[in-house]
Structure 1
Amino acid sequence: MIPPSTSTVVVKALNVGQLKCLPASLFFTPVVEGHEFFSGPIYAFLIEHPVKGRVMYDLGLRKDSESLSPAVHRHIRSLGGLSVREAMEASTDVLEKLTKGGVDLGSVKAVIWSHTHLDHTGDMSKFPQTTELVVGPGSDLRTYPSDPNATLIESDLAFLTSYMHLSGRKVTELSFSKGSLRIADLPALDYFDDGSFYILHTPGHLAGHVSALARVTPTTFILLGGDCCHHTGDMRPAPPYETHFPLPKHIAQDVALLRTPMLRIPSRSVYQDVPKTNETLRKLTKLDAHPDVLLLIAHDSTVPGVIDEFPASLNAWKEKGWKDKLMWAFLKRESKGFRFGKSAKL
């Protein structure tokens, strides 16, 4: 499924904010009494290649929400009647966190956006001209104020000069149409051309959505899912998990429940294309169910407190048993990921 290689990267997780109070019905169904709202962390990831330098996968949310385009403010208000600040917050600036952790922003060769939503794009203008911006195919790169309905602003595609003027940066829109590489039936690109880091085309949530697969030892991987889903119950359980990660039998004796994800993507949701989302999740399940792959999505509330965070590395995840701790964590009533309540069939 994944081509063999001995080349690896180092992956580090930066917890840079929080989705605070959005209607859970926008992200998954069913929603039961007592669990009407969704909250979760906002993760960005630093990838370090031993020869080809550093890249970021996502940047989280910018702290100066007043700089966001009017279209973004209108969109967030339409979701649940809340302002951006009420719905989410940047607890720290990812750039400040990198700098305090000893990372020179000039050493970051590229920033890969999983997609162009505000809680992933951060503030690109603070990176130097040498930092390339990489986006998935079909990403909406219109900017405000040139386009009054754009969700991005001009500085998202530019950098600040020493005279505090904006100047354009290199923006690369990935194409998967010419390549033949596929991982888990998903179109893939070998980013560093050595098998250490792959970009996967994972459409559904938003046009241009991409995930990443990082090889952290010759045989173990971290799957950075972005917003392929917002709760791992959208994927688990399913038949591929039965070999290595069967649903705990005390949870349910119903055979159908043992083989069907606990949650589903709603027809009216934050997912632009629900059928494509479901197809993407079906394919990603093949990776998530593998004992040598750790899935980390951007807003999984069960992850904080389990994994090591920046400046520590995630590479030793298998020895530390994080996958076993996280796989069914959302079924524990004390977990922040528990969404089922007394009325759920557990």
Structure 2
Amino acid sequence: MANEYLAAPRKAPDLQIPQSEVAVKVSCIDSTTRVKLPMGPLLQPDYTGKEFLTGPAFSFLIEHPSGKKILFDLAVRHDWQSLPSYPKWRKLGWGIYVEKDVPTILSDHGIAVDDGAIDAIIWSHHHWDHTGDPSLFPSSTGLVVGPGFKEAHMPPSNPNSTLMPTDYEGRAVREIDFTSKPFKIGRFNAFDYFGDGSFYLLDTPGHTVGHICGFARTTTSPSTFVFMGGDASHHGGEFRPTEYLPIPKELKPSPMKRRAPVCPGHLLEEIHPHNTSTKPFYYVTETFAHDKKVADWTIDGLGEMDCQDNVLLLTAHDDSIVDPAQIDFYPKPLNDWHEKGTARKVKWMFLADFEGAVDAKENGDEAFVWAK
């Protein structure tokens, strides 16, 4: 295994995941959202040819054997121009496109959203590109949020809340208490949502107050999992590579169109700010995190998850796997991802964003610059 990489990988940490014989059905919903934001204020350094953070906004449908259905995140509401922050985004020149909202996508495939088919909506956090439009669900559909969410993001404690009153009025809002039955998965405090080890919520702070991730068991023999990353990270280069998962010597298939079918891994090492194959390419900026130190700690934890052979880690805005589709999207389930080798296939696709930097390096130009 070590010979596959530019550096010998360290042994992956033991996540200490409890045993269970119950799995859930997991589907990743491509919500049709596409966003385009300037990269520099969000992640550093600035790589040649990568001026914008672009991507989708995923929602996840989790179906328990009991028949209960829950959603992890709702992506962007179709009428996003009605949100209070719209004038600000317009001035900033953000690009936002939404063809359909998640409830419509579910209804198109026979899930009666308006009849209470969804037991609960879990918000990874309070930002507009994850909260969707809960008013399209009946009051019987509850909201589940992370620790400290209500005080930080909801009236009356926050009179300047960016949430819409129709998001939460008339429905139960449940704030997860990770201290009631404390245990950890990896470095993260965990909560057993159904009480049977099939689906966990993980306390992943830093990006915002109350940020949480989802961790679903997709098979039991062997145990495999899908990690729903929300905005714990916005780009694969924030938590890849690591000492546990260095850059491969050869990238097959090549993520770079002009370097197909195989891309030598050393080309990526040579454009890395630290000229290494074992540290991530990007760092989150102070302005893009509620608490950068804590956000960095969480991102390090993602790397400990991502290096596991039995974990498929998907962040909400992973641009590298949607156009064209690199995974099975809803209505197809993701449960056979391990059998299909999906994680190995998509793990390094984000490196396509650095082809311009590789070109620049080969031409003797700057591959990246740090913002002043």
Same fold (TM over 0.5): yes
Q: Secondary structure at the match of 2:286?
A: coil
Give the corresponding residue for 2:95: 87
Structure with the larger RCO, 1 or 2 (CA within 8 Å, 6+ apart): 2
Cα displacement (A) at 1:142: 2.3
Take 1:339 and 1:115, find their aligned partners in 2: how far apart are those partners? 33
1:319 paired residue number: 339
The Cα of 1:117 is off from its aligned counterpart by 0.4
* One-letter amino acid of the structure 2 residue matched with residue 120 of structure 1: H
Q: Give the equivalent residue in structure 2 for 1:250.
A: 266
CA offsets 1:274-297 (integer angstroms, 9 cap, x no match): 111110111221111001000010
Residue from 131, 137, 146 that aligns with 2:141: 131
SS in 2 for 1:282: helix
Distance 1:198 1:316 in 2: 19
Q: Contact conserved, 2:71 with 2:121, CA < 8 A, in 1? A: yes
Secondary structure of 1:239's counterpart equals: coil
Partner of 1:165: none
Letter of the 2:160 counterpart? N
TM norm structure 1: 0.87
Residue 2 (str. 1) matches residue 17 (str. 2): yes
CA–CA separation in structure 1 for the residues paired with 2:87 and 2:155? 15
Partner of 1:20: 35
Asked whether 1:289 is paired with 2:291, we answer: no
Which residue of the partner structure matches residue 129 of structure 2?
A: 119
- The separation in 2 between residues aligned to 1:295 and 1:26, in whole angstroms, is 25
Q: Alignment partner of 1:325: what SS?
A: helix
Contact 2:145 2:174 in 1 (8 A): yes
Task: Report the equivalent of 2:51.
Answer: 36
Structure 1 position 239 matched with structure 2 position 250: no
In structure 2, the partner of 1:152 is 163
Q: Are the structure 2 counterparts of residues 338 and 136 from structure 1 closer, same or farther at C-alpha, using a change threshold of 3 Å? A: farther
1:329 and 1:337 in contact (8 A); partners too: no
From 197, 216, 219, the equivalent of 1:214 is 216
Q: CA deviation at 1:236?
A: 0.6
- Taking a change above 3 Å as real, the CA distance of residues 143 and 122 of structure 1, as seen in their structure-2 partners, is farther
Q: Is 1:101 aligned to 2:106, yes or no?
A: no
Q: CA RMSD in A?
A: 2.2
* 1:344 paired residue number: 367
Q: State the distance in 2 between where 1:297 and 1:339 align.
A: 23
For these two proteins, the number of residue pairs brought into alignment is 322
Change (3 A) 1:75 1:150: farther
The Cα of 1:264 is off from its aligned counterpart by: 1.2
Deviation, structure 1 residue 253:
6.0
Give me the identity figure in percent: 38
Distance change in 2, residues 1:50/1:339 (3 Å): farther
User: Contact 2:321/2:349 (CA < 8 Å) preserved in 1?
Assistant: no
Q: Letter of the 2:316 partner, please give it.
A: A
- Does the alignment pair 1:142 with 2:154? yes
- SS state at 2:135 partner: helix
Residue among 179, 182, 193 paired with 2:181: 179
1:292-303 matches, within 5 Å, as 292-303=310-321
**Unaligned regions of 5+ residues in structure 1, if any?**
159-167
Q: Does the alignment pair 1:61 with 2:76?
A: yes
Distance 1:115 1:180 in 2: 21
Using the size of structure 2 for normalisation, the TM-score is: 0.81
**Is the 2:239–2:303 Cα contact (8 Å) retained in structure 1?**
yes
